[in-house]
Structure formats: structure tokens, C-alpha cells
Chains A and B, each alone.
Chain A
């Protein structure tokens, strides 16, 4: 089990970056949806 730390580090970093990117996209989508709703509302008024 020599070098197990390197293996775990590699796989952990891969998932942290992939999930980080997904999280970033989700936040951006929520923010954009809020902006669209606010803009639609102001255009209707």
C-alpha cells in the first residue's frame, strides 16, 4: 500500500475540481434565472 496517499490525492483532486465546476455552473444558472425573471417582470410593467 506504498504511495496510497498519492493515489487518493489524485482521485480526490479530480472530483473536487469536477464538482467545483458543476457547483459554479449551478450558481451561475440560478443567478441568471433570477436576472431573467426580474427583467421579464420589469418589461411587463
Chain B
């Protein structure tokens, strides 16, 4: 079983490295510079996949939180927790790379428009998810409360996604995928999305393994105390 896990981790690591090298080559060498916003547009190739991975991570948290509340099995909570943690890391990257792109293009680092504000709210919701767990007096209670946040908080994900089409915002709309990208730009974006999706799986698996190890330590401690 352990050997199978090592093989799986090595395959994920190798695939992640290969895709990431391909993604970096395509972003910095292969894809042409966009004529309106210039070189800074290349941030888009990592900003969009990072946002996609954050949404995926919170979706996984949503599904496994439901499973945990239904079955009350710790393994489902472990996956939900690991995915939320990785989702927070990726949402942080979205909130950092977005303003770095916005400053030269919009002239400001931040503006309180619908997309940016709902993204910040999303980050705060999942920070609350992690804080509830760490401040809970009993692990089971923390898992239960955070599972509720993981389910209710997911409502913000489709809101973030739809803001650019529902309201007038400064943020580029999803229409860009229909008529604003050349074939090479679209191919680069797809490779970057694949690279970050594999990286997400790798990080979530590692994080879940760590959380299982933490549970083992607690179990051994309680055995020792008896």
C-alpha cells in the first residue's frame, strides 16, 4: 500500500514538473505578446488557472463536507480540510497577481468592483473555515462547524464567476474566451490550466497525508495516556 502511494506521488510530481516546464516555456517563449496591454498580459496565463484551481478546490471541499456531515467519517473531513487549505493558497495568489496586472493596465492596484470584492469575500470565508478548526475545543466539533462553512461558503464561488457577466465591472469578462484569444494563446492557457490542476492534486494529496499523520499522532498520544 505504501509503495503504491509512493508511486502515485512520484507520478504526480513528475507530471506536475513536466507540465509546469511546458507551461513556462509557452508563456515566456511560445505565445506572442498581446498588442493592447503588452508583456504584462502574460500574467493572465497563470492568474486564470490559479483562479480555476481555487474554484475546483472549494468545490471539492463542498462535496467532501457534505459527505462528512452525512457519513461522519474522518477521511472525508481530511480531504475537505486539505482542499480548503490549498484553495486558500491559490485564492491568495489570485488576489496578489490580479492587482499586479491591474496597476499598469487600470492605473490602480485595487478597486471595489464586484469581481474583486466577491473574490476577497471568498478568501475571507475560507480563512474562517480554517480558523474555526484551529480554535475549536474538540476536533469533531471543529470539523462539523467547518463542514457547514465549506457548504454554505461555496455559494460565493458561482457568484464570483458570474459577477463579470451580471454586473458592470472593470474586470475582463469571460467573453474573452470566445473571441479575444488566438489559437496559440488558448493553447498556452490550456497547458497552464492542466499544469495547475495537477499541482493542485499533488498538494492536496500531500496535505491530506499530513492531516492523517496528525490524527495518528493524536491517537498514539491517547493510547499512551491510557
Contact = CB atoms under 8 A, between A and B. Distances in A.
Interface of A: 1-4, 6-7, 9-11, 13-14, 17-18, 21-22, 25, 28-29, 32-33, 35-36, 39-40, 42-43
A38 B161 CA distance: 48
B40 A11 contact: no
Interface residues of B, number: 31
A25 to B, nearest CB: 6
Given A11-B46, A25-B210, A3 B93 contact: no
Contact of B224 (A4, A10, A17, A39): A39
The 3 closest A-B pairs by CB, nearest first: A39-B220, A3-B40, A10-B100
Could you tell me the dominant secondary structure of chain B's interface residues? helix
B213 A36 contact: yes
Contact of B39 (A7, A35, A42): A7
A5 B17 CA distance: 25
Residue from A3, A4, A11, A25 whose CB has the most chain B CB atoms within 10 Å: A3
A13 B93 contact: yes
Contact of A32 (B199, B203, B210): B210
B42 A17 contact: no
B183 interface: no
A10 B100 CA distance: 6
A18 B216 CA distance: 26
Contact of A13 (B42, B100, B207, B217): B100
Contacts of A7: 39-40, 42-43
Given A18-B89, A25-B206, A2 B39 contact: yes
